[in-house]
Every structure is written in C-alpha cells, then in structure tokens.
C-alpha cells in the first residue's frame, strides 16, 4: 500500500519525503524488514524515536514520528504515534474487525477463564471463535504463544486478519488496563464489553486504584462499546458505563440481576447452581470448575453470550464442556494421596478466592507455595502474605519472577503480612527446591497450591527469562 493512501484521513500532521510503498508495519526496530513502516512510539521506559536510525538501517521505508528526526528517510509526523499506529494498522490489514463479533473482557481477575468459557459457548452454538489472552492466542485448533495479554495494535490487527481468513466469526479477547491506556485497542468497537471485578493490582503502573479503574473504564466509552456486561456485585461496576449510551446487562450472586445464580453448592472440585436467564426457566448447572469465583466467571460468559443472542442450550453445553483452563485452578493428574494445584493467583483477591475455596473443602492441610513478582506493585506483597497465612496451614515463601529485584527482599515484604497470622512457614528462595520441599511434606488428603506462575513456563531473573515449567518440574520431582 502506498504510504499516502495509508495515512489519508488518519489525522497525520505532515509528511516529509517521497511517497513510498509500504510492505508491512513494525514497531520494534530490530525486527524491521526492508520496505516496512516503522512507528516511533514513545513508551514508559524508552522512546521509539531513539530507534528510528536503527529501523532505517534495517530497511524501514518510512517512519511515523511525533517530531521529525535528522534522517534521510520519508517521515510522517503525528500527534500521537501509538494511536495513529492502531488506526493505520486496522486500515492496512483491511479492517478485519468489521467482519467479526468482538467481545472484550476486562477486570483484575477472571478474564482468562471467562474468555475460554465464552469461546466454548460460541463453539457449542456452532460459531467459530478466536481467542486472545494471557495463556495464548487461539485460531481454531491453532495456538500461538502470547507475548502480551492484549497484543500491540499491529499484531492485533494482523491476527484479526488471520482469524477472518481462517473462518472465525467471533473473537473474544482479554483487554488489559495497560492495553486500554496505551491505545492498543484504539479504533475497535466491541459488540460486548465484559467487566469481571476490580481489586488491587498494577499500582506500580497506575499509582492509585482510581487511575486503575479509569483505565478499565475506557473500554466502556460510548464510541467503543455496543453492549456492556457488568458484575453487579462489584462496587465500582456502575462507575464504568456511559449512562444510557447502550444496553447494559448485569450479573451477580448477591442480589437478583438480569442473570444470576441461586441454590449454590460449592463442591470439593466443582460447582452446582441454578442459573437464571431473562425470559427462561432456571437452568441447572453442574460444572467441573471450582470455587465461587467460577460461578461469577460462568455468569459473565453466559450473560455476554445471551446478549449476543445465543440460546440457553448452547450456553449450558458450552459451560459444561470446559473442565479447566491452563494454570487456572489446574489439578495435576498425579497418582498421589494428596492434590497438587497450579493457579496464576498473583493478587491478594486472587489468592483469597482460591485459598478460601480450598480451605472450605480440604480434608487435610492446605500448603501454599507462592512469591510476588519483582518491579511490580509492592503494596500487595504484605497483603498476599496475610491472606496466605489466614487461609493456609503451612506456607512456603519462594521466588516468583523477581525481575531486577532481589528475591529475598521481596520475600521479606511478604513476611510482614504473613507474620500477622499464626501460620507456620519456611523460606526457600529457589523455586524448584521450594516445590520439592512442599511435595516432600505433603501427606494424605493435603492440598499443595503452587500459586503465581500458572501457565507461565519461565522465570524472569535479572531481566533474563529462564525455562521454568512447574508442571514438568512436579512430574520430574515425583518421577520414580
């Protein structure tokens, strides 16, 4: 596509240099190929303008900039390079989103499971549905590794194009607060936007819970959202929506909403309840997913699909089909007298939800192994320690993704909260050794919870990713 055609009516301020043919789009200078358009995107940690020269050396045909650079290459000056990247990416790939039903799910916890449930319901209704989220990107039976929960806009529209070409009709995606604030989904209109909950996380980036909430609120702006689905049991839900701008559906447990649950039975490793949908009789649900939080995820998915016209039978079948999601309350199939469960819980609320479920149903002890990520919200560390101590019988404090921080300093912050409880614990910095210890002390009927890593297959230590797949490690440690 000619550069002049790509930027026409996109809000560019000025173009300097000859018109050029653009073969593809790029935002990472080291990955630029000859003939590509490179976006110099300012970021929190670095500025893409610093890499303009590198992009040109790699063959960039033109640059998008917020201020002209002293380089002999065609440049397009814009007010906001990140926003411009999203709009032009959509145009370059032929506006694939217009050919799809888009469902966006935002919230602190529950996004991943809710997206998988929505996809399962869609497929039960005979609708091919792509998925983008933390665990991976799914196009039919094909799975791609997820680098970001919500891809950068160039990758996002490239993938939407691929989904259209491969016959997808719906796409459900996790829409992270960071992605909303950083413009990755600018220009998209979501047929349904779902809100799961808001609890403490990412305050290293947002600073306050109000700013964190306001970032999620972007998804529900009138220009981005056609229908909203809200967790009515979350206090901030009503602060998110644009009043009277579009249909709003509510779901919940605490009081009757458009979609709600009654007769709840939280079992050892499953849930049963009566699901009430508008205009139909109660539907008896018996799911393999565990915990009250799974009821909320199920209601969120059911409400979103109901809003899109899916019938009750498909909703029920889709929810029943999902047995587990990778790293989300995932019970490892071990021939042991105790259980080992992997979960991505990395916030105080996420840890509370799973530990409360385990504690209520445990016949033996709950042994919790966890840490906290480095270079992230430090305020949640003692809170997670206190939650773990309150609902565990024994804790193993260890390293998570320490990144550039010292693991023992992170652990010391967690200990401040854990020491407020009577729960005994030990500190083993090396996570593999910590897992070995937790398995060694486990007895009949105990539950060993490995929290924080979930689906991840690496540890980030001093900025370097090291292979670390907890599933494989557990199997290796228990091998005869």
Flag whether 117 is in a domain.
yes
Question: Which of 1-5, 69-73, 125-129, 269-273 has the weakest average pLDDT?
Answer: 269-273
Flag whether 376 is in a domain.
yes
Helices 153-165 and 81-92 cross at an angle (nearest 10°) of 20
The four Cα atoms 26, 116, 289, 352 give a dihedral, to 10 degrees, of 40
424 neighbors 388 (Cβ within 8 angstroms): no
Stretch 78-85: mean pLDDT: 97
209 neighbors 166 (Cβ within 8 angstroms): no
- d(CA 156, CA 150) in angstroms, rounded, equals 8
85 neighbors 28 (Cβ within 8 angstroms): no
Is the torsion defined by CA of 16, 17, 18, 19 positive or negative?
negative
Flag whether 133 is in a domain.
yes
Neighbours of 126 (CB within 10 A): 8
* pLDDT grade for 103, boundaries at 50, 70 and 90: very high
Q: Find how far residue 360's CA is from the centre of its chain.
A: 27
Give the percent of the chain with pLDDT over 70.
100
How many alpha carbons lie under 13 Å from residue 134 in its C-beta half-sphere?
24
Q: Is 322 exposed, middle or buried (0-12, 13-18, 19+ CB in 10 A)?
A: buried
From 321, 349, 372, give the residue that closes a domain: 321
Flag whether 192 is in a domain.
yes
- DSSP string across 314-379: HHHHHHHH---BTTBSEE----SSSEEEEE---SHHHHHHHHHHHHHH-SS-EEEEE---TTS-ST
Q: Encoding tokens for residue 344?
A: 């991505």
Number of domains in the chain: 3
305 neighbors 119 (Cβ within 8 angstroms): no
| 303 & 281 share domain | yes
Summary mean pLDDT of the chain? 95
Flag whether 116 is in a domain.
yes
Query: Annotated binding residues for ATP, as ranges?
Result: 107-113
| 175 & 239 share domain | yes
- d(CA 24, CA 32) in angstroms, rounded, equals 9
Q: What pLDDT score does 152 carry?
A: 96
| 264 & 291 share domain | yes
- d(CA 266, CA 364) in angstroms, rounded, equals 18
| 279 & 297 share domain | yes
259 neighbors 302 (Cβ within 8 angstroms): yes
Neighbours of 35 (CB within 10 A): 14
Flag whether 91 is in a domain.
no
450 neighbors 435 (Cβ within 8 angstroms): yes
Given a cut of 80, is residue 45 above it in pLDDT? Answer: no
Q: Encoding tokens for residue 122?
A: 């869609």
Read off the pLDDT of residues 158-177 as tens digits, 9 standing for 90 and up.
Answer: 999 999 999 999 999 999 99
Stretch 314-318: mean pLDDT: 98
* pLDDT grade for 245, boundaries at 50, 70 and 90: very high
| 393 & 449 share domain | yes
What contacts 189, CB < 8 A, 6 or more positions away?
97, 102, 223, 224, 225, 226
Q: What pLDDT score does 201 carry?
A: 81
- Of 446, 443, 431, which Cα lies nearest the Cα of 477? 431
Stretch 27-34: mean pLDDT: 95
| 289 & 165 share domain | yes
From 34, 64, 85, give the residue that closes a domain: 85
| 256 & 112 share domain | yes
SS3 152: coil
Please write down the long-range contacts of 93-100, taking CB distance under 8 Å and 24 or more positions apart.
93/157, 93/158, 93/160, 93/161, 94/161, 96/157, 96/160, 96/161, 96/163, 96/164, 97/157, 97/160, 97/171, 97/188, 97/189, 99/164, 100/130, 100/160, 100/163, 100/164, 100/168, 100/169, 100/170, 100/171
- d(CA 114, CA 129) in angstroms, rounded, equals 14
| 305 & 337 share domain | no
| 371 & 235 share domain | no
Tell me phi and psi for residue 390, to 5 degrees: -70, -35
Stretch 181-192: mean pLDDT: 96
Flag whether 90 is in a domain.
no
Flag whether 109 is in a domain.
yes
- DSSP string across 370-398: E---TTS-STHHHHHHHHHHHH-SEEEE-
Give the percent of the chain with pLDDT over 90.
88
| 156 & 245 share domain | yes
pTM to 2 decimals? 0.92
| 138 & 175 share domain | yes
Given a cut of 80, is residue 268 above it in pLDDT? Answer: no
Question: Which of 169-173, 186-190, 289-293 has the weakest average pLDDT?
Answer: 289-293
Domain limits for position 22: 3-85
Query: Annotated binding residues, as ranges?
Result: 29, 107-113, 149-150, 184, 376, 400-403, 452, 456
Q: Encoding tokens for residue 256?
A: 């009757």
* Domain CATH code at residue 435: 3.90.190.20
Read off the pLDDT of residues 111-151 as tens digits, 9 standing for 90 and up.
Answer: 999 999 999 999 999 999 999 999 999 998 899 988 889 99
12 neighbors 3 (Cβ within 8 angstroms): no
Query: Annotated binding residues for meso-2,6-diaminopimelate, as ranges?
Result: 376, 400-403, 452, 456
- d(CA 359, CA 331) in angstroms, rounded, equals 15
From 55, 85, 115, give the residue that closes a domain: 85
325 neighbors 431 (Cβ within 8 angstroms): no
Given a cut of 80, is residue 467 above it in pLDDT? Answer: yes
Q: What pLDDT score does 206 carry?
A: 79
Read off the pLDDT of residues 317-359 as tens digits, 9 standing for 90 and up.
Answer: 999 999 989 889 999 999 999 999 999 999 998 999 999 999 9
* Domain CATH code at residue 21: 3.40.1390.10
| 211 & 311 share domain | yes
* Domain CATH code at residue 102: 3.40.1190.10
* Angle, alpha carbons 262-267-271 (nearest 5°): 45
Q: What pLDDT score does 295 carry?
A: 96
Q: How distant, in Å, are the alpha carbons of 51, 119, 243, 257, 289 from that of 271?
A: 52, 20, 34, 20, 6
* pLDDT grade for 312, boundaries at 50, 70 and 90: very high
* pLDDT grade for 480, boundaries at 50, 70 and 90: confident
- d(CA 272, CA 290) in angstroms, rounded, equals 10
């Amino acid at each position: 596509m000619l550069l002049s055609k790509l930027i026409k009516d996109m809000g560019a301020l000025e173009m300097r240099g000859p018109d050029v043919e653009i073969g593809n789009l790029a935002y990472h200078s080291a990955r630029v190929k000859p003939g590509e358009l490179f976006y110099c995107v300012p970021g929190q940690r670095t500025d893409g303008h610093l890499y303009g020269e590198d992009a040109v050396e790699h063959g960039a045909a033109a640059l998008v900039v917020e201020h002209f650079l002293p380089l002999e290459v065609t440049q397009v000056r814009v007010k906001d390079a990140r926003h411009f990247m999203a709009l032009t990416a959509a145009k370059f790939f032929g506006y694939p989103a217009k050919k799809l039903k888009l469902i966006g799910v935002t919230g602190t916890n529950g996004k991943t499971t809710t997206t998988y449930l929505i996809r399962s319901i869609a497929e039960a209704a005979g609708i091919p549905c792509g998925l983008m989220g933390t665990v991976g990107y799914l196009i039919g039976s094909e799975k791609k590794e997820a680098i970001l929960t919500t891809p950068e806009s160039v990758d996002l529209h490239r993938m939407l194009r691929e989904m259209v070409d491969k016959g997808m009709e719906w796409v459900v995606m996790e829409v992270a607060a960071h992605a909303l604030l950083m413009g990755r989904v600018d220009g998209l209109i979501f047929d349904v936007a779902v809100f799961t909950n808001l609890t403490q996380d990412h305050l290293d980036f947002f600073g306050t819970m109000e700013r964190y909430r306001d970032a999620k609120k972007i998804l529900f702006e009138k220009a981005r959202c056609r229908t909203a689905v809200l967790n009515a049991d979350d206090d901030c839900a009503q602060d998110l929506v644009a009043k009277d701008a579009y249909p709003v559906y509510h779901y919940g447990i605490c009081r009757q909403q458009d979609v709600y649950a009654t007769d709840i039975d939280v079992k050892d490793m499953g849930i049963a309840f009566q699901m009430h949908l508008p205009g139909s009789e109660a539907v008896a649900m018996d799911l393999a997913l565990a915990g009250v939080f799974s009821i909320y995820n199920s209601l969120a998915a059911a409400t979103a699909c109901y809003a899109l016209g899916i019938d009750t039978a498909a909703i029920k079948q889709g929810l029943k089909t999902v047995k587990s999601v990778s790293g989300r309350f995932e019970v490892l199939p071990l021939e042991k007298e105790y259980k080992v469960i992997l979960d991505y819980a990395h916030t105080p609320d996420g840890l509370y939800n799973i530990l409360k479920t385990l504690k209520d149903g445990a016949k033996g002890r709950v042994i919790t192994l966890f840490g906290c990520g480095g270079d992230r919200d430090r305020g949640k560390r003692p809170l997670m320690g206190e939650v773990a101590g309150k609902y565990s019988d024994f804790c193993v404090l260890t390293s998570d993704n320490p990144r550039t921080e010292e693991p023992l300093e992170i652990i010391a912050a967690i200990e401040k909260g854990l020491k407020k409880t009577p729960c005994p614990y030990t500190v083993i910095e090396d996570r593999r050794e910590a897992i070995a210890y937790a398995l060694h002390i486990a007895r009949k009927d105990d539950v060993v919870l490995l929290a924080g890593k979930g689906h991840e297959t690496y540890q980030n230590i001093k900025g370097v990713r090291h292979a670390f797949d907890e599933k494989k490690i557990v199997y290796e440690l228990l091998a005869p």
